[in-house]
Structure 1
Amino acid sequence: MRERGRTRRLMGLGARTGGAMLKTRLGGQADWRALGEALFEGLSELKGPAMKLAQVMSQWDDLLPPDLAEELARLQRQAEPMPWPRIRETLVLQYGDIDHYFSDIEERPFASASMGQVHRATTHEGDTVVLKVQYPGLAEVLESDLIQVRRIMRLGRWFKVPQARLDALFEELAVSLREELDYPAEAAALARYRKRYQDNPHLVIPEPLLELSGKHVLAMRFVGGTPLRDLATADDATRQGIAQTLADWLTEELFSYGELHADPHAGNFAADDQGRLVIYDLGAVISVPEARLTAMMQLLDATLKYDPMAMDEALLQMGGRQGQGAPLSLYREAAECVAPLFAPGEQDFSDVRVHRRLRELTPKVWAAMDRLQPPADTLLLSRALNGHYWNLVRLGARLDMHKRTAPLLTRARAA
């Protein structure tokens, strides 16, 4: 009965979203604020794949109507936690006698996400740990939820996104969600990253506690910090230090290890009291083949040279674009938006002129989406990079991207 109720609510939210989009497509004015409020309320309670999709969409705040983007962004910071009695069900399922393992567990979570929430606990030895608790029953309803998410995503065809691209995006989303429920795999990722970066003085990765972890709960040693989304009021030195570390870490991840943290939710990162970057969540890590990185850098190289023909060819080689491709003028405008971020010297990621140009370009990109198509196997990668970019924007980062990318471009040209 509970599963059928979820399905009905998801179908209702999907229908309401489709109605707003159709009204806009027919020349009317949709109440995006009201839709956003309804989605926030419904998805905050339901959790799961649809909430995750909405969180992904909220990171594209240069694409969505501002009122809708603002409401969906609340899902990343204000989503209502699941009541303690339901969470306790999962803890009992994992541990049996909870009191045997912990002297205290805080009933109010200090983090709540789409697939689980985090509670602070104290062991009988006096150690403070955090418990990432999977929402009860979510694994059982995941597949039926995904069916409804696929139906909602079909609305993307109204934006001229071919069905094959939507199917590819859905498959990437489905795989990532299934992996997020694999807590033993995340514990292994935490251990791998701790070993990889054990000598990096600027990074902190919590220690997984395998003896307290299992299929439904991931236990980690507590690491305090100020969430990235709350660093807007921090001093400039702290923000710039975190931004530098984040950019360096992402570059090293991609080009030294062929991996990328694919859940750039701002709540997954923090700054500790020593100004180090804390990476809390490694439930979504994707591999990025060397050939894909080379192709991406070749596209960037063409972009920085303001060469629209080379940009079109690079996109074609990556498996994107259809027919005659997009108008060359669109490529030129894209280059004019992107290239300034890679000019020699420090570039200010909080420069509103850059965001204004990107916002003005977005409708033109979507108007040409039937010809200008992103490669199907890079959609999750692109979404992750986009999210990390906006984290740098939130930090007001000032970075020398020219210096950082110059050797990578040289390597791509030689490939």
Structure 2
Amino acid sequence: MADERDAEGNRFSSRARRYAKVTGAVSGLAMREAGRRIVGAEADYAKIAAELRKVLGGLKGPLMKVAQILATVPDAVPEEFAKELATLQSQAPSMGWPFVRRRMAAELGPEWRARFAEFSTEAVGAASLGQVHRAVSLDGVDLAVKLQYPDMLSAVEADLKQLKLALSIHKRMDGVIDTAEIYDEIAARLREELDYGREAAHMRLYGTVLADQAEIAVPRPFADLSTRRLLTMNWLDGTPILDWKSATEERRNHLAQVLFRAWWLPFTRIGVIHGDPHLGNYTVRGDAEGINLLDYGCIRVFPPGFVEGVSALYHALRTGDAAQAVHAYEIWGFRGLSNELIETLNIWARFIYGPLLDDRSRSIADGVSPAQYGRREMMEVHRRLKSLGPIRPPREFVFMDRAAIGLGAVFLHLDARQNWYRLFNEALDGFDAAHLAGRQRAALAAAGVEPV
């Protein structure tokens, strides 16, 4: 036991040293940028981005997930930053068996091992907040057991301080996006991910809302083997979705169709999205019969008005109704909507909604190189915002935008072709903004999810 305590103390000391190193390095970048502005020198984004990546790349933890989120939000960071941040990995070294034994005893009591028929000593997966072990229940059910790393609350809070510093660098360089609400949103969602009780409730919510979708499997949590920092669920067999990149076009298109429904149906039915569209969160069942939808730590529950705005803006872009577009942006929370700003917002909106507005079978990129997809629109938005002044996107925009781009990236990897217009309108079929609030309240209450 003394060895375990010493090892945990060393782990904490090592983390503290890494945070101190990162804080000093990021602060140094900020000071150099302040000096550049005083003398009126041009910013070398590529150089600063490479330095930032070097600093952040040495810290394997929640900050990696934050960095990847920022890389998908247009103009939250410069293009050079986005490219560097996109290369970061959200992998953390797994805890050894002595740590696992101690953590499991802390969560389920000293006799925890007797509550499982089998429990693997080696982790089968490690990520930014915790790791997963395979197990078998006493009645023979295959289980996935997700155990949170120790001291993650302090790690998250320290990482959020680094995030503020990193955002301040961009603000001093060329801040066309006011990132205040972006920071608040990321901070709120990251803190929520530490609560595995909430994640279990999200699983129950998705299990109910997708109960009529036989091709989409949602894991089932085991309450008696779970706590706020330990989540036990049934194991879902599947293969990585990237293993299907070379499958037949029919199979790839089918997987894309199922993924589309898994993402959009919960949004149009009760106003929730799976906010972490990482490729590792989808596995394929059998011979592409369906998918397993995994990891419910980052589920975003939207106010009904925001969901109404998504539908309203879609119809506005489809019909060319400028007044309806303005209404959509207003109910989202955009302020100071001049004609020039609306035109600028519409550039990005047409990019995001583009495949959904086109009534034909097509790929997501539709002939544009995946490496260049969205680049022209992002550059034009940036150019216009520089003359219009800083814009503060509403906080709900962060994960909606991230999830939409992430889902599109999965479709690009699969090289899938669909009539996305038809699929989206099928998801919207029966959508009623007036009754959404009541349906959402009932669904959240039944699953035990706190309302927005």
Q: C-alpha deviations, 1:323-359, integer Å up to 9, x for none?
A: 7454677467557645652211112125351753511
In structure 2, the residue matched to 1:401 is 420
Q: Name the aligned partner's letter for residue 232 of structure 1.
A: K
Question: Quick one: which of 264, 273, 282 aligns to 1:269?
Answer: 282
In structure 1, the residue matched to 2:449 is none
Structure 1 range deviating more: 130-139 or 392-401: 392-401
Q: Name the aligned partner's letter for residue 43 of structure 1.
A: L
Q: Does 1:346 pair with 2:367? A: no
Structure 1 range deviating more: 54-63 or 364-373: 54-63
Cα pair 2:206 2:266 within 8 Å, conserved: no
Q: C-alpha deviations, 1:271-294, integer Å up to 9, x for none?
A: 111521101211222222332122
Q: Does 1:119 pair with 2:133? A: yes
Cα pair 1:115 1:134 within 8 Å, conserved: yes
Q: Name the aligned partner's letter for residue 349 of structure 1.
A: I
Q: Does 1:215 pair with 2:235? A: no
Question: Quick one: which of 277, 284, 289 aligns to 2:303?
Answer: 289
Q: Does 1:238 pair with 2:251? A: yes
Question: Quick one: which of 127, 131, 138 aligns to 2:145?
Answer: 131
Other structure's SS at 2:421 match: helix
1:229: how far off? Answer: 4.1
Q: Does 1:358 pair with 2:367? A: no
Distance 1:325 1:27, change over 3 A: farther
Distance 1:180 1:207, change over 3 A: same
Q: C-alpha deviations, 1:220-269, integer Å up to 9, x for none?
A: 11111122344323333332222111112222111111211112222111
Give, in whole Å, the separation in 2 of the partners of 1:202 and 1:169: 34
Q: Name the aligned partner's letter for residue 123 of structure 2.
A: P
Q: Does 1:30 pair with 2:43? A: no
Cα pair 2:269 2:431 within 8 Å, conserved: no
The normalised TM-score by structure 2 is 0.76
Cα pair 1:297 1:409 within 8 Å, conserved: no
Q: Name the aligned partner's letter for residue 375 of structure 2.
A: R
Give, in whole Å, the separation in 1 of the partners of 2:135 and 2:236: 12
Q: Name the aligned partner's letter for residue 53 of structure 2.
A: G
Structure 1 range deviating more: 100-109 or 208-217: 100-109
Give, in whole Å, the separation in 2 of the partners of 1:365 and 1:32: 21
Query: Where do 1:84-123 residues align within 5 Å?
Result: 84-95=97-108, 96-102=110-116, 104-123=118-137
Q: C-alpha deviations, 1:36-60, integer Å up to 9, x for none?
A: 35533x232xx13x12202313446
Name the % identity. 24
1:155: how far off? Answer: 2.9
Give, in whole Å, the separation in 2 of the partners of 1:180 and 1:84: 24
Distance 1:357 1:87, change over 3 A: same
Structure 1 range deviating more: 20-29 or 233-242: 20-29
Cα pair 2:210 2:262 within 8 Å, conserved: no
Q: Name the aligned partner's letter for residue 166 of structure 1.
A: T
Q: Name the aligned partner's letter for residue 410 of structure 2.
A: N
Q: C-alpha deviations, 1:268-323, integer Å up to 9, x for none?
A: 11111152110121122222233212222332333335677865664345322547
Structure 1 range deviating more: 122-131 or 214-223: 122-131
Distance 1:385 1:20, change over 3 A: farther
Q: C-alpha deviations, 1:115-147, integer Å up to 9, x for none?
A: 112121234555431111101111244334323
Structure 1 range deviating more: 10-19 or 383-392: 10-19
In structure 1, the residue matched to 2:401 is 382
The normalised TM-score by structure 1 is 0.82
Give, in whole Å, the separation in 1 of the partners of 2:241 and 2:74: 18
Gaps in structure 1 of 5+ consecutive residues: none
Cα pair 1:109 1:120 within 8 Å, conserved: yes
In structure 1, the residue matched to 2:56 is 39
Query: Where do 1:161-200 residues align within 5 Å?
Result: 161=176, 165-200=178-213
Q: C-alpha deviations, 1:135-185, integer Å up to 9, x for none?
A: 1111244334323322323334234245xx422122211221221111122
Cα pair 2:115 2:137 within 8 Å, conserved: yes
Give, in whole Å, the separation in 2 of the partners of 1:234 and 1:15: 48
In structure 2, the residue matched to 1:56 is 69
Q: C-alpha deviations, 1:4-43, integer Å up to 9, x for none?
A: 4353133145347658988895247417556535533x23
Distance 1:111 1:56, change over 3 A: farther
Structure 1 range deviating more: 19-28 or 6-15: 19-28
Q: Name the aligned partner's letter for residue 358 of structure 1.
A: G
Structure 1 range deviating more: 50-59 or 265-274: 50-59
Q: Name the aligned partner's letter for residue 281 of structure 1.
A: D
Other structure's SS at 1:398 match: coil
Give, in whole Å, the separation in 1 of the partners of 2:202 and 2:342: 43
Aligned Cα RMSD in Å?
Answer: 3.6
